[in-house]
Amino acid sequence: MNYVYFVPLFPLIGFLINGLLALARKSYSDGKHPLKSLVSWIGCTSVGLSFLASIAIFFELLALPAGERVVQKIAFPWILSGKFHIDVGFLLDPLSSVMILVVSGVGFFIHVYSTGYMAEDKGYARYFSYLNLFTFFMLMLVLSNNFLLLYVGWEGVGLCSYLLIGFWYEKKSAADAGKKAFIVNRIGDFGFALGVMLIFWTFGSLNFSHVFENAPHVLALGGGLVTAITLLLFLGAIGKSAQIPLYIWLPDAMEGPTPVSALIHAATMVTAGVYMVARCHALFLLAPVTMGVVAVIGAATAIYAASIGLVQNDIKRVLAYSTISQLGYMFLACGVGAFTAGIFHLMTHAFFKALLFLAAGSVMHALAGELNMQKMGGLKKYIPITFWCFLAGTLAISGIPLFSGFFSKDEILWKAFSSPHGHFLLWLIGVATAALTAFYMFRLFFMTFLGKSRMDPQVESHVHESPKSMTIPLMVLAVLSVIGGYSGIPHSLGGSNRFEGFLSSVFEHGHSETQAAAYHAVSTEYLLMIISIVVVVIGILVAHRFYIQNLNIPKRLAIKYKFPYRVLFNKYYVDELYAIANGIASVVKGLGVLIRKTQTGYLRNYALSLIFGAMLILVYYIFR
Amino acid sequence: MEILIFSILAIVAVVCSIMVICQKNPVASALFLIATMVSLAMLFLLLNAPFLAVIQIIVYAGAIMVLFLFVIMLLNLRRDEFGPEKRRAQRFFGILFVFLLLIGMVTVIEVGIFGSKSTETVSEATAPAGVEPLAQLLFTKYLFPFELASVLLLVAIVGAVVMAKRRL
Amino acid sequence: MMVSSSAYLILSATIFTIGVLGFLVRRNVLVMFMSIELMLNAVNLAFVALSRQLGSLDGQVVVFLVMTVAAAEAAVGLAIIICLFRNKKSVNVDDFNLMKW
């Protein structure tokens, strides 16, 4: 269990070394970094070693009996201030071990991919140092045993997201996108911080085990306090995981390099919100109102984002909206009490979404940076490896049986229907979203790889398959997208659902509720499964009809239904709404002019106010 | 006897500190400050802290104040010729708040705060004093701050040199 | 007969107050800095007095560290004053009023 210290430590060391190497670059006159291979080795092996440590921890946890798979390791006490006691401590249980496996595993393959993708970039060392730093913070986030350390990781991944989105900072749109991401995240983080403060005020401690064990005794079921705490925590999750209304930063975040989009905005950072809700399930289960809010927002986001993805032409934007939509699914799962299903979908989504993003990057690499799907087509013969990997990812996300996405998505849909917190409407929205997902994903697939080529002739002459450093991670992730679901085959299909069993010790509370409901009507489960498969296949066939057989249909539909098309295309004009925020800002500015008068610039005036304040405090305490 | 010495030193200290802030010539201010520090060093001796008394003279009066005088010399300052005080409100409120602060502090000392006044005393014969117990404490319980202080001094040296250089 | 700690503390408070007064009233930057040193000295006196009253040497260790910090601060502060003087050719603190709005 002492391996746990290595898990975040190696990426931190990688960051420090790569950071120094990045600074050293400035003294070299030509663009390429001379120590590039050293940077690559350090960057990738640091995460690779974390991954090996995570595997070791996983097996050690398995060796423990099922009810006792909780280990806390405290590195050192951090804050000791009266009653406020915070350690730098790590909590190892099935949930955190799943998370570190996903983060370090997928992260490792993305690091390897980046060595190929970013090979020509001037900021190579800086890129890897940021990527390592991000991995460090994310691992701290999921391993921490108290709210404050989780918040440190939370903020840290937000910072790295900003740095990496705006990686090509000379490009204005990239710099703006980075700022937008950070500011929108901040709003969520504000709510999260308030939630954490409320928790401390209620419980007197921020340690997870202390808070969660005492929660049922201290907080009234459905009471105002616990609802407030959970809503505030969820606000943080909304910001971090791009749900309505704080999702606007994610599509713009596609300005960053594609491996960044894969790692941060598909597999890991955006899932931090889901992890947090799952970790705090003890609190959320005490607040049915919040659970309802979580489920509704999750479902609404899922279908909303899917609808926007239907008409986007930028390959990465479609994937971005798809991520928002899939995150909606995860929150829907948590909202109905199916935390295990949510985490299961988190894992499979990490596999296939990272795969899709990396494959899209491979397409862009082949086409020298082209993003617009309207200028693609017929790529199958040029880049076959990418083609097959992309197909695997698309099948997985659409929820085709035998692929991982099917098992996880179906689990969520079933629980949305059957759980005591669930509702028929939630299930219906989930199924509709599944249809839309299949449609837009296959639309993307058909437009990019099949059909007649619409490429620029000059671009077409240079199309080439990506180097091995990029294609091998693609293939690994493709395999995982297929087989990753087999650990969670539900009982109704004859599987043992070992994933759920593994996590059940974590989610004992929620589990007993939903499990009781699930044991009824296995036939209903089959029925729902078949409905969702049928719906998905219809989606695929429609996409096929539109984009392979008769390309005129989508064009005619766009003209006929011009208004909905434009609304969707412009993402419901939400960005323009945010301009209202500018108006509020100018009011505050006017107030600022008034208050500005106190900033005279004269040192002695400031000293005077200091003494005045000190005197006031003294007088107050004397007269107390 | 002790009270007599204490009174003399106290009066010297207060008078010299008042002169520090009243002189127009900064060199005179510095010299009065040195006098204040020396009287404080004597008070440290009275309080059974011989090591600190010596350190006070060597470091404070002997090094820091000399540094001050060097800077005054470098900047070639003479008597203050700034002109009348334009910010009279500053002066008035300054004196007022300072006076209130003094009253507040004396009240706290005499009456106590957050409850009753502390009257805990330890017999002088058994209390530790001198260099050796101090060193023992410094190198065991306060080792970390001690090391940090040396790092701080290093940083200060580097910072001062970098900032005061003519050309970087 | 031992002088009571209150006497030392009142003396310390007095010197501290005089230092604050000097800081608020004087305009010469160097004299303001000297008043800061006065304040630090007053605090040192308070620490030593209380250390004797409580019979533990922790107060004296703190004084030691305070002196170290004061030395470092004096060095850096004087360097800053030299830089300021080079730019503005004045030691009147009211001339350094750019830190506003």
Q: Where are the domains of chain C?
A: 5-94
Rounded to whole angstroms, how far apart are CA atoms A345 and A592? 48
Contact A355, A393 (CB under 8 A): yes
What per-residue confidence (pLDDT) applies to A428?
A: 85
What per-residue confidence (pLDDT) applies to B122?
A: 64
What per-residue confidence (pLDDT) applies to A515?
A: 54
Contact A513, A419 (CB under 8 A): yes
For A614, the token pair is: 């000190």
For B63, the token pair is: 């090094």
pLDDT along chain A (624 residues), means of 10: 80 84 63 71 89 88 77 82 83 87 90 86 85 91 91 91 87 84 86 91 86 81 83 89 82 86 80 89 86 88 85 84 89 87 87 89 82 78 85 87 82 81 81 87 84 74 77 84 73 61 64 51 74 82 72 63 58 56 65 62 76 83 74
Which residue stretches of A144-248 are H helix? 147-165, 172-203, 208-218, 224-240
pLDDT (mean) for C28-39: 92
Q: What is the DSSP string of A306-317?
A: HHHHTT--BHHH
B83: which residues sit within 8 A by CB, 6+ positions away?
A: none
Q: Treating both helix axes as pointing N-terminal to C-terminal, what angle do A424-449 and A404-418 enclose, rounded to 10 degrees?
A: 160
Q: Is A605 in Cβ contact with B101 (below 8 Å)?
A: no
Bridge partners of A86, per DSSP, are A79
What are the tens digits of pLDDT across the range B89-128?
777 888 888 888 888 888 778 776 666 666 666 666 667 7
Q: Is A611 on the interface with C (CB under 8 A)?
A: yes
Q: What is the DSSP string of A387-446?
A: HHHHHHHHHHHHT-TTSHHHHHHHHHHHHHHHSTT--HHHHHHHHHHHHHHHHHHHHHHH
What per-residue confidence (pLDDT) applies to A618?
A: 82
3-state secondary structure of C27: coil
B149: which residues sit within 8 A by CB, 6+ positions away?
A: C65, C68, C69
AA letter at A156: G
For B5, the token pair is: 């010495």
Inter-chain Cβ pairs, chain A and chain C, closer than 8 A:
26
Option in C34, C72, C80 nearest B68 (CB): C34
What per-residue confidence (pLDDT) applies to B119?
A: 65
What per-residue confidence (pLDDT) applies to B156?
A: 94
Judging by beta carbons within 10 Å of its beta carbon (0-12, 13-18, 19+), is residue B140 exposed, middle or buried? exposed
Q: Is C24 on the interface with B (CB under 8 A)?
A: yes
Size of chain A, expressed as the number of residues it contains: 624
Q: How far is CA B58 from the centre of its chain?
A: 13
Picking from A131, A355, A400, A480, the residue whose alpha carbon sits closest to that of residue A363 is A355
Q: What are phi and psi of C39, to 5 degrees?
A: -60, -45
Chain B partners of C57 at a C-beta cutoff of 8 Å?
128-129, 133-134, 137
Contact A46, A10 (CB under 8 A): yes
Picking from B118, B16, B25, the residue whose alpha carbon sits closest to that of residue C14 is B16
Q: Is B106 on the interface with C (CB under 8 A)?
A: yes
Contact A255, A143 (CB under 8 A): no
Which position has the token pair 């006929």? A560
Rounded to whole angstroms, how far apart are CA atoms A138 and A154? 7
Number of H helices, E strands in chain A: 28, 2
Q: Is B87 in Cβ contact with C94 (below 8 Å)?
A: yes
Rounded to whole angstroms, how far apart are CA atoms A479 and A473? 10
Q: Is A603 on the interface with C (CB under 8 A)?
A: yes
Angstrom distances, CA of residue C27 to CA of A106, A157, C30:
63, 48, 9
What per-residue confidence (pLDDT) applies to A510?
A: 46
The model's pTM: 0.70
Q: Which residues of chain A from 551 to 610 reach within 8 Å of chain B, CB to CB?
A: 602, 604-605, 608
3-state secondary structure of A520: coil
Q: What is the DSSP letter of A264?
A: I
Rounded to whole angstroms, how far apart are CA atoms A212 and A209? 5
pLDDT (mean) for B61-86: 84
Write down the mean pLDDT value for chain B.
86
Q: Is B71 in Cβ contact with C78 (below 8 Å)?
A: yes
Q: Is B93 in Cβ contact with A608 (below 8 Å)?
A: yes
What per-residue confidence (pLDDT) applies to B114?
A: 64
Kind and range of the H or E run holding A85: strand A84-92
Q: Is B39 on the interface with C (CB under 8 A)?
A: no
**Which is higher by pLDDT, C59 or A242?**
C59
What per-residue confidence (pLDDT) applies to C49?
A: 92
CA angle A84, A10, A466 (to 5 degrees): 130
What is the widest separation between alpha-carbon atoms in chain B?
58
Q: Is B91 in Cβ contact with C35 (below 8 Å)?
A: no
Rounded to whole angstroms, how far apart are CA atoms C30 and B29? 9
Chains in contact with C via at least 3 Cβ–Cβ pairs below 8 Å: A, B
Kind and range of the H or E run holding A88: strand A84-92
CA distance A604 to chain C (A): 6
Architecture of domain C5-94: Orthogonal Bundle (1.10)
% pLDDT > 70, chain B: 87
Option in C23, C27, C100 nearest A601 (CB): C100
Kind and range of the H or E run holding A86: strand A84-92
Q: What is the DSSP string of chain B?
A: -HHHHHHHHHHHHHHHHHHHHH-SSHHHHHHHHHHHHHHHHHHHHHTT-HHHHHHIIIIIIIIIHHHHHHHHHHHT--S----S-S-HHHHHHHHHHHHHHHHHHHHHHHH-SSSSPP-----TTTS--SHHHHHHHHHHTTHHHHHHHHHHHHHHHHHHHHHH-S--
AA letter at C93: V
Rounded to whole angstroms, how far apart are CA atoms A352 and A520? 32
Q: Is B101 in Cβ contact with A615 (below 8 Å)?
A: yes
What per-residue confidence (pLDDT) applies to A14?
A: 85
Contact A58, A487 (CB under 8 A): no
Rounded to whole angstroms, how far apart are CA atoms A503 and A501? 5
Picking from B17, B66, B23, the residue whose alpha carbon sits closest to that of residue B40 is B17
Which position has the token pair 């007969």? C1
Picking from A154, A147, A151, A152, the residue whose alpha carbon sits closest to that of residue A203 is A147
Bridge partners of A76, per DSSP, are A88
Q: Is B91 on the interface with C (CB under 8 A)?
A: yes
- The interface predicted TM-score (ipTM) is 0.91
Fold classified for B1-78+88-116: Four Helix Bundle (Hemerythrin (Met), subunit A) (1.20.120)
Angstrom distances, CA of residue B66 to CA of A518, B25, B57, C82:
83, 16, 12, 15
Q: Is B108 in Cβ contact with A618 (below 8 Å)?
A: yes
Residue of A nearest to B107 (CA): A622
For A603, the token pair is: 């040192």
Rounded to whole angstroms, how far apart are CA atoms C84 and C96? 8
